[in-house]
Amino acid sequence: MALLKLSRVQKIYKQGSIEVPALRGIDLEIQPGEFTTVFGPSGSGKTTLLNLIGCLDQPTDGTVIFDGRDLGVLDKKALAEIRRESIGFVFQSYNLIPVLTAYENVEFAIRLVKRYSDNELRTRVMGILEAVGLSGLEHRRPNELSGGQKQRVAIARALVKEPKLILADEPTANLDTATSEEVLDVMVKMNQELDITFIFSTHDPKVMEYAHRLLEITDGRISQDKRREPSGALH
Ligand code: ADP
Ligand code: MG
């Protein structure tokens, strides 16, 4: 069964009397374990698409089925629960809590979702921080970390609850090329080891090399959808 199925999805933003069509009929299926890149120029609809998939917004028309559930018929509480339990987010600007350490940012995310004993919790958080390459930096606050390190904390925070899906909206846009590649290697590794489905957006051709599936969006429509062997590192 597809993890995600979008049918005839449209999104029109209203600004006063002006209507801005951001998505103009998206049909898309994503299978569990896929590592997909959504690319296209600025304004083509990438963020809008990820927000609809991530229950952060709702379509004007069409349906989004996530893990067998039609998001259009769920109330706010049920949507918030899916977002919290089943979806991890990674943003361009990291969105870490500045007063919390790397460790605490990750711990905070898992405390919202699952109950662990103090020992289990600590083992899990330390394990995931190690997996993303942050051993020794657990006690630093975001302003004491580089951009790449901050994005690793954000990835750890998304991963720690073992979501079905991770959505990453231009996760490498603020990083230099070498750091982008390191951050992507972490995501590829987690995709392979934990079988978590990833969808990330970018307009960086280097980033696209990592994907198994390339979806191009032009003016709110899918203009290209192809699967191929990734050429990025680790493959
Ligand atoms: P991308 O992420 O590919 O740059 P977006 O999904 O952010 O594209 O935007 C798609 C289109 O929708 C653009 O024309 C943008 O101006 C418009 N848009 C996005 N968000 C809003 C909003 N909250 N209100 C009005 N228009 C919006
Ligand atoms: Mg965007």
Q: What's the pLDDT at 232?
A: 65
Ligand 2 centroid–CA 17 distance in Å is 23
CB of 15 within 6 A of ligand 1: the answer is yes
159 part of a folded domain: yes
235 part of a folded domain: no
CB of 41 within 6 A of ligand 1: the answer is no
84 part of a folded domain: yes
Task: Tell me the ligand closest to 169's alpha carbon.
Answer: 2
Structural domain span for residue 94:
4-227
Give the list of residues 6+ apart from residue 160 with CB closer than 8 angstroms, or none. Answer: 106, 109, 110, 124, 125, 128
233 part of a folded domain: no
Quote the number of domains for the chain: 1
Number of H helices, E strands in the chain: 7, 10
Owner of token pair 């609850």: 161
3-state secondary structure of 196: coil
- Cα(38)–Cα(188) distance, rounded to whole angstroms? 16
* Interval 173-195: pLDDT, tens: 888 888 888 888 888 888 998 88
Q: What's the pLDDT at 51?
A: 96
Ligand 1 centroid–CA 170 distance in Å is 14
200 part of a folded domain: yes
143 part of a folded domain: yes
Q: What's the pLDDT at 182?
A: 85
Ligand 1 centroid–CA 220 distance in Å is 10
151 part of a folded domain: yes
CB of 43 within 6 A of ligand 1: the answer is yes
Read off the CATH number of the domain in which 55 is found: 3.40.50.300
Which of 47, 91, 219 has most ligand 1 atoms within 8 Å of CB, for mutation? 47
232 part of a folded domain: no
Q: What's the pLDDT at 195?
A: 87
Q: Are strands 213-218 and 35-39 parallel, antiparallel or unpaired?
A: parallel
Task: Tell me the ligand closest to 46's alpha carbon.
Answer: 1
Ligand 1 centroid–CA 231 distance in Å is 30
Q: What's the pLDDT at 11?
A: 98
Counting as low any pLDDT under 70, the low residues of the chain are: 232-235
Beta-carbon count within 10 A of 159 CB: 23
Does this model's pTM top 0.85? yes
